[in-house]
Structure 1
């Protein structure tokens, strides 16, 4: 039994992770549970999740985690949710549509249209969200055009945070962190943006009220009974998974970027106020009104390597998925001149063009499956390394702190460290989003006077304020190989797009 814990509830689109952290503890989760959720593709470009399935995963993961705590005092439950989702609700807050996730690309044509008409810079400057099919703004436009009758039956629109908050508390509410990723919130006045709403074809009263990420709510009594906890445990509304990932790894100070890698990936840099990249390559999302995250996401993270493993090594994947990494490690750095543009799903930063397809470039007879596997892994790392370089243009990046399941494997660590070309640190799995949610809750409860102090109270470390392990060491040769490749990655993506469109135009 622990004297007091804070639970971080991290609701993604493919899994729900719950971790409890001791208040004043030395770090590491006191209890943890994970439940998978399944993303479906009912039509081309659609990537959806059944909301009921996601909520069942929330309930099951919470029960499992709480059982491990052996009646410890729970000071709060803090919620992290995936960004960019869209669900339509009826007037009783029942789901009318399935959850269209960040990966859903059905609005790609609308994104292209807005860019061609010159609307993208204005919308990015006002909302901090690039014009891309991931954006709920564009998903709303798609519903109005393609399914007008279904859209007309929707009373309220929301995302994962509204879904989970209503399930736990009965409240229909959204916070400024996830709100800043909708393409519908003005990042300068922290209110729903009238220009974006006009594009979306919705009224502000169809969206949840916006609140700060530290607001607290009451748990529904029936939820407390189902989980076996006191109904007085406060629910801290929390923030989006990306900004909380930076907090959890301590990447909330100037010059330190946070890199997260799972199914997808992202790199973010903390800034004190909304910051606009005039070239339109980066997003800007809130953690609190005083702390923002400038960065870029990649839709193609670990999922790109998983695809390559299933495609080029189905025999070993069926027996032991880890063997695919062992095969990839037998190829040299640079994969013998083979390069993968890993755009298997509609890619986001830095080009924000969902039409650019993936490609293998430089294929020769000498290449075997180990080269294709390594090129896929390297392509993911190079894509994230490109985003680091762009962030460095806007606000200097001195080091990178990373988190995510793929980094359990040494090959992922080595390649990413060599690609980044800066001091590179990997946090423990627990030292990510759930820990960030717990640190934010400690601040919300008044146990700490800043989000950084809240993280420290929960056993985390803010970059520069503790003792880091030594950064990963890479060979000079590997560093040079990837430095050369990283400089050409954006140009390769552009060239691949031109070749593909010439061969198979829209």
Structure 2
């Protein structure tokens, strides 16, 4: 057995991990790229820059492997991307990322018409501007020539597979995040295609996430991975994150917080909640990830640090802000932040929702505002876990992400959840999930747990975070009050939004 390489192509960076299961040797490489916003609500990327980063990280881990052969390459990417290709398979648009909300009017219309619940039940993807379905609707209304003129419409995963193998295909995990899939047939939904305004021939064929292709001669020259090396088409970053952290057992949810955040758990077949607040995406044919993603994660604490400590050194500001926040008591002496700086996805699904600090009094200082920002995110995630628990019981949460290196984040989240919170080693994250899925795809393991056991580093899971009982009680009271505040804030937020629009 030689080296297994896992690739994780995210929103702002590509990461590759190479693992030798026989010896435990491993190495990793990362390359960043830009997220551009040429117009309001647009969040796009240059396909050439992104694919150059893919080549770079693969070449670096292959070089580090030295004489070790590359047995298989597993591919994982962010979901919800959309890009148009011409008949020469060259891009005719930028990569339109999940963060692009230009189709907010189309998503709002589908919700207003009462069609969102049915679309979610059929496809597993909530109706939101992130979804390729609403993005294609936007093209139909604003750039019909590009919509109908594109030879193929593909996602980020499909673009990477095309680059590495020469094949125009997608896989079940990526397809399940488009809003265009029929979960029953596991093929493109004719009704959704009609709504999006595209033909079946404009979309790629859907493969199993364990399907294998081969590295093309062109890709071999730019990556150093030998031509003919098997390529596991893989899954998307969220489901692979659950696999990489071992959150694949019943009752165990995986939580990740970076700029945004998500919580997910693995179930044997597609399911969502009755009120349409959760997504359902594939990991394999018989392992599906149900959960939700928030738009306001670590970005909220970063904003608070920049706003309340503007003179602090940039590189040390976050740590200084967290240290100051820790001097305020749990509950921030009654100060509550509704942390919706970027609208919100699950469980509210409102891209225009605004945030607020509520309950401000004379005795509140910077430390209270900083702590309230952290607690606001934790309370939002706890609400999401409760929704998930209503679909499938959640008895433990495994958390990953740089924020959880902070004791304040760990204890605040554990207190808000009121459930065991177990930190995990997230150094490799979704990339390790790609490695494990590639092991399964090549028949070297019988199931996901066995595949992960072959490539996971020793250790990596800590003891549950300990939180005083009185703090858990404080957060339980806050959660109830925060939900009431959010309902009461709704009408006021509409007036504030209208006022901001008039001033703009």
1:238 counterpart SS class: coil
CA-to-aligned-CA distance 1:147-177 (integer Å, 9 cap, x gap): 2233233221111101111111111110000
Could you tell me which runs of 5 or more consecutive residues in structure 2 were left unpaired when the two chains were aligned.
none
In the alignment, which residue of structure 1 is the partner of 2:430?
433
Alpha-carbon distance in structure 2 between the residues aligned to 1:240 and 1:208:
16
- Could you tell me how far 1:24 is from its partner in structure 2? 4.5
Q: Distance in 2 between matches of 1:125 and 1:229?
A: 40
Residue 330 of structure 2 is aligned to residue 337 of structure 1: no
Q: Aligned with 2:234: secondary structure?
A: strand
- Give a deviation string over 1:95-153, Cα, whole Å, max 9, x none: 11112211111111211111111111110110011111111100110111122233233
Aligned residue number for residue 55 of structure 2: 59
- Whether 1:403 aligns to 2:396 is no
Aligned positions of 1:107-506 closer than 5 A: 107-321=103-317, 322-430=319-427, 432-459=429-456, 469-505=462-498
Q: Please say if residues 383 and 489 of structure 1, whose CA atoms lie closer than 8 Å, have aligned partners that are also in contact.
A: no
> Counterparts of 1:149 and 1:172 in 2: how far apart (Å)?
22
TM-score normalised over the length of structure 1: 0.94
Q: Check the 8 A contact 1:166/1:172 in 2, yes or no.
A: yes
Q: Aligned pair count? A: 498
Aligned with 1:394: secondary structure?
coil
User: CA separation in 1, counterparts of 2:364 and 2:254?
Assistant: 34
Question: How many Å separate the matches in 1 of 2:193 and 2:200?
Answer: 7
Pair 246,447 (structure 1): closer, same or farther in 2 beyond 3 Å? same
Would the aligned equivalents of 1:19 and 1:430 in 2 still touch at CA under 8 Å?
no
Contact 2:81 2:132 in 1 (8 A): yes
Contact 1:324 1:373 in 2 (8 A): yes
**1:36-61 deviations in Å (ceiling 9; x for gaps):** 12212222211222222211211122
User: Residues 288-313 of structure 1, C-alpha deviation per residue, up to 9 Å, x if partnerless?
Assistant: 11011111110111122222222222
Aligned residue for 2:344, secondary structure, equals coil
Of residues 449-458 and 404-413 in structure 1, the stretch that sits farther from structure 2 once superposed is 404-413
C-alpha spacing 1:467/1:224, structure 2 compared with 1 (3 Å): closer
- C-alpha displacement of 1:319: 4.5
CA contact (8 A) 2:103 2:129 kept: yes
Is the Cα–Cα contact under 8 Å of residues 256 and 263 in structure 2 kept in the other structure? Answer: yes
- Answer whether contact 1:137 1:183 (CA < 8 A) is retained: yes
Any gaps of 5 or more consecutive residues in structure 1? Answer: none
Equivalent in the alignment of 2:21: 23
Pairwise CA distance, 1:284? 0.9
- Structure-1 separation of matches of 2:309 and 2:490: 27
Q: Give how far 1:494 is off.
A: 3.4
Q: Is the 8 A contact 2:425 2:461 kept in 1?
A: no
Residues 393-419 of structure 1 show CA distances to partners (whole Å, capped at 9, x for unaligned) of: 121110011112222222222222222
CA distance 1:489–1:207, shift in 2 (3 Å): farther
SS of the residue aligned with 1:292?
strand
Q: In 1, are the aligned partners of 2:272 and 2:391 still within 8 Å (CA)?
A: no
Tell me if structure 2 keeps the 8 A contact 1:218–1:233: yes
